[in-house]
Structure 1
């Protein structure tokens, strides 16, 4: 009986925590949420935020789709937002509860993946490129040849983040194709290049900020903000390359889950992070730009002209936001990706 009572008490405690007033469950990418912002938010509002990490869009989607996650807010990338909408996993926002909605910068308001920002608000945005320790390799880093035709100096020292849409798109651009291509000749070139290159990679893993900083890896397909953090940690040895063949642009946005329990707390948090000063705190931690007008004034000085944050003019045209791919294109990419994981 004691065992049953203890189990019942534990279940009730868990249930009450998920739905308790003054708490919020945020499901977000790892190493992406400013502790200083959370401390300030709790001090200002009395709401305690618990952050649970994920490492890919697919993992987050699968976890929530399975049901009973207990999360209130999630932060999907642009190419996944409509998938969440179509599956009914996120709900349309009541903008009357978000007076700071007006602070969303005009260029991030009527976005392709969420017209009028009906379902999401901006978190951060950036690019996926190549991070290289220039003490190890001094050649051209602005090319996807770095991971598809690995230079001798980087063989066995380069990582590729296991984010399918980013890596596959970079390889497709390199092969002369467009995002979500169904061109079998292009896809064969992509498949052959990836399979041939993989033996020259050290790993397909996350954690690039730390492993580039401590020298475990000499290069990685990586995100721009993570690379800036590594650059600062290595006194400039790690540099960020924008592949001239094409590279993904992305924006991660905050969405309210359809089965959220702490709804009012969620609205309070979303409105809070659209204050320019608070949006800047998010950026200052993870080193990515955000979509809130006026936040620039509160940004750290070293971000205002950082090459990882301000895309050099010569590489701007090569950046592309990735669409949600149609089923056939997704199937082709998944088949190649699955083979690559073997």
Structure 2
């Protein structure tokens, strides 16, 4: 429904309150404090053949999306949000909204599934994709083409090396060249970084991760800074391609978001502690975490991340690939599984997943730090390392 997810600019409370109370929404028909799930696929026309509610068909107009979209939009301080069936559906819609021949800059270090999609599908549609080291502003400026570059895609922190891109500086360069900027802010969450306030035009979240936080929902979201022709094309991609979440997943996502502020705070706290401890270990080659002063992107991260540096870190082992795989095999609390952002802590030998084209070193373990006891998580990793 057009305009249903517009940000409530006069919402007077904190992000924590907005999340816990879902912007204070009460179902007007029943006075329930939890919004209902609407499973209807179609809506009745009026006697004059119009649609009195503005809704035509559930593929794009399901009311269950509205409280979720409104909450995400408010957190990101955007103009409007759209819920998608997955993070990949949300991300690819941004590229599908472009025109054949459009030039795009994307980071060399980014979520591997989207990078693989750009390499295998986007070029077939006539998009001109260049992969650039987004941590180096001069390289971004060097590859921008005035009037030809239509989109700069950022991911910060960048999975799985947690590279930090300067959102404000890149937005300034991109806008001067006539390009829009979209930011995958999945790992930062809107609680740590608000890219639109730094100049971004679109923000993407894999809502499967920190927004939901319970490893039981697949969903994605886009948030726009304004309603322009590009955003309207993206809206059409979602509606016409059917890249939508189910009403039940939307309701589950809203349920998960109500505790996001608590989960993200604890994950950040635990990750900082574990990163600092492992950095000192004699068997560890390097800890990649934006919260460490030794990390290359720490100063930029400190400027644009508020309240923590995220729950994701990577650890490189001096003994190499076999040792890294062995450590993952010996952990007890850390679960060997793909994904991130859940309440449970996960560990993964990332190069094995991404394959030979990965920029990820083969001695690297990716850690998604959950909300368990931080000392018990550290002890479990250390016993696996020392075994």
State TM-score, norm by structure 2.
0.25
Higher helix share: 1
Larger RCO (CA under 8 A, 6+ residues apart)? 1
State TM-score, norm by structure 1.
0.27
